[in-house]
Structure 1
Amino acid sequence: MTTDLRPELISPPTRRDWIAILAAILGAFMAILDIQIVNASLKEIQGALSATLEEGSWISSSYLVAEVVVIPLAAWLTVVMSPRRFAVSISGLFVVASLLCSMAWSLESMVVFRVLQGLAGGALIPFAFTLVLTRLPLETRPKGMALFAITATFAPSIGPAMGGWLTEHFGWEYIFYINLIPGALMISGLLYGLDKQPPRWELLRQGDYAGILTMLIGLGCLLVLLEEGYREDWFESVTMRVLALIAFVSLVTFVILQLSRDNHLVNLRLLSERNFLLGSLANIGLGVGLFGTIFILPLYLAQVQAYTPLQIGQVIMWMGLPQLLVIPLVPLLMRHLDARWICACGFTLFATASFLSGRLNLDFAGDQLLAIQIIRAMGQPMILVPLSILATALIPPSQAGSASTLYNILRNIGGALGIALLATLLDSRSSVYYEQLRVHIHPGNPELGERLAILQSQLGSEQAALQALQNQVLQQAQILAYNDAFHFIGGMLAFSVVCILITKALPRS
């Protein structure tokens, strides 16, 4: 079967269309915000629930796994239930799950409630993206994509600061309470903006249940592998090897099923369209950049510079605030400039900021990162809007659900894979650099004797001086490893630049 990839005509959006789109985008914003806002307060939540550090990681992991797994189901469920009924249902579930999270009495209850919250939040993200594709014609779509871009970049940027501030001044429960008012606005906007349509329950009998099952098992095992593999020493663990095998077999089966039947859950044939394929590959690099930066930068500030969660949030915030000024300008630029050049420029700025971050030293902290954060903030809006348009402009609205699914899930998988690779890289490179630096610590080194004498006079004993020196060597090894991690992110973003430059130019409207 060949897929018609010519874009279909869409009538100009009405006021109700815009209200529905804004309500859905608000939902996507809250869904992404809830990832980072919880991470900033994880230590306090773990303490309240009497959970260990390793157990507490499931508070974040359970949400992420549920969020990614539900994305491919969102398009199908939207058709079965009708857009209005589906959107209002998942919005209500998100609000209720948020309230339940604030009332959690144990780790087990919190993980269950976070799974529910992730299922609802994960469905809100592709739904908002699909509304932009189906309700806005190509000439208006950059405005909608600009609004959607705020969810992907601004929400993660303000999440740590907001989470740290709420936890410090009110308590960790308030990071869930803040979803209630936006949730009510979201539901009201969806009820007003979307037309009532009858559900198509008969489609449940025609569902691609084999595809659903293999997708759920495959993605679930893959994400747990990526989230927990580092802690379990990857394939040294029998559990990780089993998860990898199940994920591989399930996902290969899923791909075969989707390509061998017309009644598919996700139309993988969309990847045969050049711009969608290249845009999706660039999107994977973007996922590594977005998620990876949010992962290693707070880790560096906490581990090396001893920053508090609130201080970390204030540094990360500068990655988001300038975007509010830049994002409205991007649709205007796209009227006069080729979207490929805008997107490539954005990726270049983002990559440059990552390479500049790879010059860390003991004196390199929040103040020195300010200019770099602003460069990142300038680049990211120039990526998200043009990249979304480049990837989806030639996709017909009838395929918007599949396009939204593939586009969003590939960015999330890119982010999860990036975090897993970065965590492993930090650990392995720290060990390598530590061994390299230890070579210079020997009795015949005159600089070593001078350094030990200074430390001993400061600390009062030779044993304390030796321990302090060992800590300094370890710290320096960690800094060098962080530099490598930022260089890796820069390399992935450079790969995305290449993908964008070889896409086809879009027809001028």
Structure 2
Amino acid sequence: MSTSQTPTSPPASDVPPGTLAWIGVTPRQLAGFLAMVFGMFMAILDIQIVSASLAEIQAGLSASSDEIPWVQTAYLIAEVVMIPLSGFLARALSTRVLFLSAAIGFTAASALCATATSIDQMIVYRAIQGFIGGGMIPSVFAVAFSLFPPSKRNIVSPIIGLVATLAPTIGPTVGGYLSDSYSWHWLFLVNVGPGILVAIAVYFLVDFDKPDYSLLDRFDYLGLISMALMLGSLEYVLEEGPRYDWFDDQTIATFAVVGVVGALVFFWRAFTAKDPIVELRAFRDRNFAFGSFFSFTMGIGLYGLTYIYPVYLAQVRGYDALMIGETMFVTGVAMFMTAPIAGRLASLLDPRAMMLIGFAGFAAGTYITTNITSDWDFYELLLPQILRGCSLMLCMVPINNLSLGTLPKEQLKNASGLFNLTRNLGGAFGLAMINTILNKRLDLHLERLHESVSWGRAVAEDQLASMQQSMSQVLPDGDLSAIKQLARLVRTQANVLSFADIFVVLTVLFASAAIFTLMMHKPAPLPAGAGGH
């Protein structure tokens, strides 16, 4: 080989001394990476940690029912803007500086959230927390696929996949426990100690790449502003649209227009700027494009089902936050148990086959739940939740490997931001779809059921008479109480039918995704020692 040639993989002499053969990196590199993984866990956990405790926060801050959802919405909107931006910042500042700054800022913002005395303060602090925390999530994926050798990714990918999917799944469980046992302040204070430790570990252990400060001289401010308007408006419309009947509301319509204008400017800058704020060329790769679509779909399964089960348990079964968390914990256990199996299967099976099995498992779980009734409890939801937990891991590992594992190393930081963005947008779209269908189908089922229990229906009149007779023996206003109870039964049944409709739609969606997995290319086998250093 001539001296002018560059080898495709580094010679053995370039391998860092002390490299651990089983993982392909040094102990210091592994410890730094694990510190980053824990930081990502905190950032993702905080998306859902407040979901089961909004009532407690509302009472503590004297907030209205319209204001309290912004405790979660502000975090999501800010995070979704930072996630794609983090790729540029990691290249300009280095992974170490970006992650260290994010860990410190996230910890400080968490402490501020615990000190909030008004809903306005809480919304501002949560937005800061989400924006800064969003910088930690894509960095872990980029490091995982650039630091570790391809032959070791079946060990690393289940780790980051488990964290990325387990954190939002157990969020309601952790949040419910903290608010029930202590107070809502501990939803945020719980981040302070671990956040400080993560920052210290990253400062001393992480040194994976070098900064390119010249990128800051060519920073595309117009691209950043347009991206923030596009993603922020999209997230707002998806979050608030179902509550305010979409474009019938003036504010929703205004943000939709702002989002479209922002999108037009953003894509113009992305294709014409010398150094755009977000590089879109990764989508030229067929596997990355399809992988992002599957990541979007998986986001629906991850965030959508994490939302719909607690809503059912609260509205129909009357569960409190802690009981919901204990019921939802099944999915987390299934994911934890499946992670090592998924890593092993990734080295034995065609990744497309793993994804097909995973999405088919999603579809099977939601299909079972199409038969849901108002009596369904922990045991009826046990199998669907196990199927969901196992399917998440079976999908996450091959989607990560196929989407990011075949890209050039110089594209990984930017592509990781885009990849994680699609998962979050999938979650936002899934929540909007679920809430919209629930509202529309609830009205439809109520109308139909009201016809079934109207005066003149012998069955309805007999049922009401029986209830009035029973209640009149124990209550002075038994007749009125019976009518109210019948109305509650009708609404509960309409609610349950609406949940069943949601699960039918999700079944079709996941079954379709399973079929589309066949359109991805299988990557060529990688040599055992290729890349990674």
TM-score (norm 1): 0.95
Kindly provide the amino acid, as one letter, of the partner of residue 164 in structure 1. G
Tell me which residue corresponds to 2:320.
308
* 2: CA distance, partners of 1:443 / 1:413: 47
* 1: CA distance, partners of 2:101 / 2:511: 40
SS of the aligned residue for 2:134 comes to helix
Kindly provide the amino acid, as one letter, of the partner of residue 468 in structure 2. Q
Distance 1:196 1:230, change over 3 A: closer
Residue 8 of structure 1: how far off its partner (Å):
6.9
Deviations 1:419-449, CA, capped at 9 Å, x for gaps:
0111010000011111111222233322112
Tell me which residue corresponds to 2:200.
188
Matched, 1:38 2:50: yes
Deviation larger for 252-261 or 317-326: 252-261
Matched, 1:162 2:162: no
Deviation larger for 384-393 or 485-494: 485-494
* Counterpart among 478, 490, 493 of residue 473 in structure 1: 490
- Residues 161 and 397 in structure 2, CA contact (< 8 A), matched pair in contact too: yes
Kindly provide the amino acid, as one letter, of the partner of residue 423 in structure 1. N
Tell me which residue corresponds to 1:79.
91
Deviation larger for 433-442 or 40-49: 433-442
- Residues 292 and 489 in structure 1, CA contact (< 8 A), matched pair in contact too: no
Give the count of matched residue pairs.
503
Q: CA RMSD in A?
A: 1.7
Kindly provide the amino acid, as one letter, of the partner of residue 222 in structure 2. A
Tell me which residue corresponds to 1:449.
461
Deviation larger for 355-364 or 49-58: 355-364
* 2: CA distance, partners of 1:389 / 1:349: 20
Matched, 1:347 2:362: no
Kindly provide the amino acid, as one letter, of the partner of residue 287 in structure 1. G
* Counterpart among 200, 203, 213 of residue 215 in structure 2: 203
Residue 154 of structure 1: how far off its partner (Å):
1.2
* 1: CA distance, partners of 2:506 / 2:78: 26
Tell me which residue corresponds to 2:522.
505
Residue 65 of structure 1: how far off its partner (Å):
0.6
* 1: CA distance, partners of 2:251 / 2:9: 50
- Residues 296 and 423 in structure 2, CA contact (< 8 A), matched pair in contact too: yes
Tell me which residue corresponds to 1:293.
305
Deviations 1:17-65, CA, capped at 9 Å, x for gaps:
2112211111111111112111111110111100012101111110111
Matched, 1:397 2:409: yes
Matched, 1:231 2:243: yes
Deviations 1:54-83, CA, capped at 9 Å, x for gaps:
101111110111111111111111222222
Residue 508 of structure 1: how far off its partner (Å):
2.0
- Residues 298 and 392 in structure 2, CA contact (< 8 A), matched pair in contact too: no
Instruction: List aligned pairs for 1:37-186, cutoff 5 A.
Output: 37-186=49-198
* 1: CA distance, partners of 2:423 / 2:368: 24
Residue 483 of structure 1: how far off its partner (Å):
0.7
* Counterpart among 462, 472, 486 of residue 503 in structure 2: 486
Deviation larger for 462-471 or 168-177: 462-471
Tell me which residue corresponds to 1:240.
252
Deviation larger for 75-84 or 163-172: 75-84
Percent identity of the aligned residues? Answer: 34
Deviation larger for 302-311 or 75-84: 75-84
Distance 1:137 1:262, change over 3 A: farther
Residue 196 of structure 1: how far off its partner (Å):
8.4
Matched, 1:383 2:395: yes
Tell me which residue corresponds to 1:20.
32
Distance 1:459 1:67, change over 3 A: same
Residue 197 of structure 1: how far off its partner (Å):
7.0
Matched, 1:219 2:231: yes
* 1: CA distance, partners of 2:374 / 2:202: 50
Tell me which residue corresponds to 1:323.
335
* 1: CA distance, partners of 2:268 / 2:207: 36
* Counterpart among 444, 462, 472 of residue 432 in structure 1: 444
Distance 1:345 1:198, change over 3 A: closer
Deviations 1:135-160, CA, capped at 9 Å, x for gaps:
11211122222111122221122211
Uncovered stretches (5+) of structure 1, i.e. residues with no partner: 1-6
* 2: CA distance, partners of 1:331 / 1:448: 56
* 2: CA distance, partners of 1:227 / 1:8: 46
* Counterpart among 282, 289, 295 of residue 270 in structure 1: 282
Kindly provide the amino acid, as one letter, of the partner of residue 480 in structure 1. L
SS of the aligned residue for 2:489 comes to helix
Deviation larger for 248-257 or 338-347: 248-257
* 2: CA distance, partners of 1:297 / 1:112: 29
* 1: CA distance, partners of 2:422 / 2:398: 17
* 2: CA distance, partners of 1:8 / 1:410: 31
SS of the aligned residue for 2:277 comes to coil
SS of the aligned residue for 1:311 comes to helix
Tell me which residue corresponds to 1:4.
none
* 2: CA distance, partners of 1:8 / 1:402: 22
- Residues 91 and 413 in structure 2, CA contact (< 8 A), matched pair in contact too: no
Residue 303 of structure 1: how far off its partner (Å):
0.3
- Residues 90 and 211 in structure 2, CA contact (< 8 A), matched pair in contact too: no
Tell me which residue corresponds to 1:332.
344
- Residues 8 and 397 in structure 1, CA contact (< 8 A), matched pair in contact too: no
Residue 313 of structure 1: how far off its partner (Å):
0.4
